[in-house]
Chain A
């Protein structure tokens, strides 16, 4: 398992750069990955999505929820979700939240 240093902390990541141990994640790491993904500042709306994913992940085996699970569960609309995390929200949200890619097609 590879490791890398994000926001000054050494964390375990897989081949695609997703963190493999959600417990190693901190908000600072989230901010740093978001910047790598082209999101300069995380607003309250971003955190609402990230917090929802972090809260849901334990029931999904550490994986991030699917986009539909996010919209139906958090109350954030599809339009808003794609605006907050443009160009590939499914992977981006999981990456920033320190979770595995969502399992599920919807």
Chain B
């Protein structure tokens, strides 16, 4: 093994429930393997660190071609949730509940707990300045583990030599 610590940086730009987990799972695995982890939250990705939003992320069935009714145990083969049905009130709440259940079944914690675990393991979290200004947010809106609000240029400086993954 080389003496230089491998570094990985994630850019989280999405706030949907299913798009929150890739960085959490891979980042946690990286920490467990001794890799330095930095996460930059931008645009909707800031929902992951926003205390008012992080455990209320949702998954919409509308326009989601991957979510098949078969997942819910129905013998419907390749049929998705019909768009007309997906538009009904309560459907987003239902698909969100369903996905959270699936996530919990594999032992993965909710977003806030997962991120706290990563901070405890040494992950460095930053919020994007432009997004923060745009959405009218403040540092106090974010969970404690968020180190700072930084510019894109700062992020480039701090991730020199890192492998960067955009989500």
Contact = CB atoms under 8 A, between A and B. Distances in A.
Query: Main SS of the interface on chain A?
Result: helix
B63 interface: no
Nearest to A88: B34
A82 B122 CA distance: 8
Contacts of B109: 68, 106
Interface string A59-99: 00000001111010000011101100011111110000000
A82 B120 contact: yes
Interface stretch (B25-33, B42-50, B94-102): B25-33
B120 A89 contact: no
Contacts of B117: 68, 71, 78
Given A82-B122, A90-B29, 10 more contacts: A79-B121, A82-B121, A87-B5, A90-B32, A90-B33, A105-B25, A105-B29, A106-B25, A106-B107, A106-B109
Interface string A28-48: 000000000000000000000
Contacts, number: 48
Given A78-B117, A105-B25, A88 B33 contact: yes
Contacts of B79: none
9 contacts: A66-B107, A67-B28, A71-B117, A77-B120, A82-B120, A88-B33, A88-B34, A106-B107, A106-B108
A44 to B, nearest CB: 21
A87 B121 CA distance: 9
B25 A79 contact: no
Interface of B: 5, 25, 28-29, 31-35, 106-109, 117, 120-122
A34 to B, nearest CB: 15
Nearest to B116: A78
Interface of A: 66-69, 71, 77-79, 81-82, 86-92, 104-106
A24 to B, nearest CB: 24
A66, A82, A105 interface centre (most CB from chain B within 10 Å): A105
A93 B50 CA distance: 33
A104 B105 CA distance: 13
Contacts of A77: 120
B32 A67 contact: yes
Given A68-B109, A106-B25, A106-B109, A88 B32 contact: yes
A106 B5 CA distance: 22
